[in-house]
Amino acid sequence: MRTRIVRPAPTVVRSIIASRCYTTASRISLAYDLHEPANPASDAPGAIIFMHGLFGSKKNNRSISKALARDLGRPVYAVDLRNHGDSPHHSRHDYTSMAKDVAGFIEEHTLLDTTLIGHSMGAKTAMTLALRSPELVSDIVSVDNAPIDAALLSSFGKYVQGMKKIEDANVTRQAEADAILKDYEESLTIRQFLLGNLHRPEGEKTQKFKVPLKILGVALDNLGDFPFRDPGEVRFEKPALFVRGTRSKYVPDEALPIIGQFFPRFRLADIDAGHWVISEKPAEFRHAVVEFLKPKM
């Protein structure tokens, strides 16, 4: 791992599940797992909110959340963003809406000096909230995404097609679903990640996906966009860490100047990984985050 500055004990876990249903409310109450440190640090700042990427959920970040709670002595809230995991579904799925949900979460739980950590979709949500409401955020960690418009990998569209085919097939076992998904994704690890969204609704024999495939399929075209265009109008003047996978395309070198304009106090940590930085290199990721967030002497 290479880090550079660029300037222009077991945890206690409590799980809260929001009622997973379709809602028309403008702000969604997010489901979450709370990972509390066994030995809270007396001089530590506030809580950490950890946000997953597209098709992910709070359970994907369980291990790293526990590790950060332990290492930093801070509570970590791993949340399910709207249309994911156990959080409600909504027809609108964009970064402004997701940022408003997280702002509401901070206010609902009366959190202060909050750190935002987000991967991919969660990273752009963190960036959006930091720029929109900097008074709610102490610092951010953006994992393999940048404040630029960039098309999503074409594989995400293929995943939606494969997942829809699985639902149409009325599968009863995960092995059946995996056999279908093989036509859309070769990697067993990624297939397992996607199939982690499968569940059997109460009273039904067949398995369905927790995520609303139609809503997310429509949202794909816009999830590569970033809602802010002009860093001359808005910027986040507090610390920010951008962690990028050096074998990923989402944070190219040419994006670094625009990152510096929106986030003038940012640091960059390069990790030899693809887009799935946290799962590919968890130790290196944890080290980069702890070094960034540990109290400065």
Secondary structure string (H, E, C) spanning 87-142? CCECCCCCHHHHHHHHHHHHHHCCCCCEEEEEECHHHHHHHHHHHHCHHHEEEEEE
Question: Angle at Cα 106 formed by Cα 286 and Cα 279, nearest 5°?
Answer: 25
Report yes or no: 246 and 24 within 8 Å, Cβ to Cβ.
no
What is the pairing mode between strands 208-209 and 240-245?
A: unpaired
- d(CA 176, CA 18) in angstroms, rounded, equals 29
Burial 217-248 (b: 16+ CB within 10 A, else e): bebbeebbebbbeebeeebbeebbbbbbbeeb
Which residues have CB under 8 Å from 12's CB, separation 6+? 35, 36, 38
What is the pairing mode between strands 240-245 and 137-143?
A: parallel
Residue 6 burial (CB count, 10 A): 15
Residue 51 token pair:
């946000």
The 8-class DSSP code of residue 238 comes to: S
- Residues marked active site are found at 120, 275
From residue 261, how far is each of 138, 179, 232 by CA, in Å? Answer: 18, 46, 8
- d(CA 149, CA 204) in angstroms, rounded, equals 41
